[in-house]
Structure 1
Amino acid sequence: MPGVPAGAWSPRPGSNSRFDVLAAIQDFFRLNIEPDSGAGPGVHGLQLAAAALLFEVMRADYDEHPDERATLERALRQAFSLTDSETRELAELADREAAEAVSLYQFTGLINQQFSAEEKVQLVEMLWQVAYADGRLDRYEEAAVRKITELLHVPHRDFIRAKHRVLDEKP
């Protein structure tokens, strides 16, 4: 903005703008993640992208079951070794990012650049866990998992194997 020093502008209090989401993301990483963790740049953006994809699957059937949310948070906590507090904050940020996203490519593109083939398969398994968390697989959830898997360039055989691993773990 002309005449306003860089970094001096902030949205009006109570606004629900994209700037609020960005500020929340920056605060989360600044307050909760050690900068010297040695994990490398972009790790937290990858976590956010993966979490947003999990939210896409959870919302695919337009029925956000509490078991799906619990499974999603448990998967994030285990996959990224997060505390309960970090998990909740990451989930809240990812929830907002997924809700505002116009495309899956912003998430899958980042993951394709940084995740190994094995990490992508692990993410697909997490997607299946969320899809089956409420005890049934809706066709829209399956379609979401399939679409994300294709965008991640995960081979069909790995898509099916991940699904079967999740089904084998179900009681």
Structure 2
Amino acid sequence: MLRTLKDLFDRLAPPAAQADPREAEHLLQLATAVMLVEVMRADASFHDNERQAVLAALVDKFALDGDEAQRLVELAHAVAKQATDLFAFTSRINERFEMGQKIRMIEHMWRVAYADGHLNEHERHVMWRIADLLHVPQGAYQHARLRAQEAAGAR
């Protein structure tokens, strides 16, 4: 298991010039899932609503079926536990996503944060850190937050 995770981390490093497109897509999906899971992990307790928000985000973003999204979340959770920083994940996302895609991802992350009905300071900090690493402008970050907050019915 540890060897597999180490291999995965090694592959998350900036890609070689001509990587296999399928593998590159899988690594992008994993990087995105890890960011969503990081928001879920920022809360001291896991709620099923948060997990469902992560699954919904992955299905929306990558058109995965339920089983694929479930397996991806499980892998992302294991990878997130072992990760020492977020740069390997955010750099892959920065390489492949246009700004609109990154903003949509941030909105999904806010939906995960609001899924349990409240937002704590650690979740807010994780969100800010990831948005900063993704170079999402402050205004877009705030608008994504407001859209997610409205969708969750939170204040």
TMscore range, shorter length: 0.7 to 0.9
The answer to which structure has the higher helix fraction is 2
Alignment deviations for residues 59-89 of structure 1 (CA, whole Å, 9 cap, x no partner): 1122211111111111111211001110111
Which amino acid is the alignment partner of residue 66 of structure 1? D
SS of alignment partner, residue 81 of structure 2: helix
TM-score of the superposition, structure 1-length normalised? Answer: 0.77
Q: Residues 112-151 of structure 1 correspond to what in structure 2 (within 5 A)?
A: 112-151=94-133
1:9 matched residue in structure 2: none
Unaligned runs of 5+ in 1: 1-15, 25-38
Q: Does 1:20 pair with 2:4?
A: yes
Separation in structure 2 between the aligned mates of residue 110 and residue 50 of structure 1, nearest angstrom: 9
Q: How many residues align?
A: 142
Counterpart in the other structure of 1:76:
58
The match for 1:48 is 30
Q: Distance in 2 between matches of 1:21 and 1:92?
A: 13
Instruction: Give the residue type in structure 2 aligned to 1:114.
Output: R
Q: Aligned equivalents of 1:155 and 1:133: distance in 2? A: 24
Residue number in structure 1 paired with 2:42: 60
Q: SS of the counterpart of 1:42? A: helix
Structure 2 portions without partners, runs of 5+:
9-20
Aligned-residue RMSD, C-alpha: 1.9
**Matched-pair identity in %:** 37
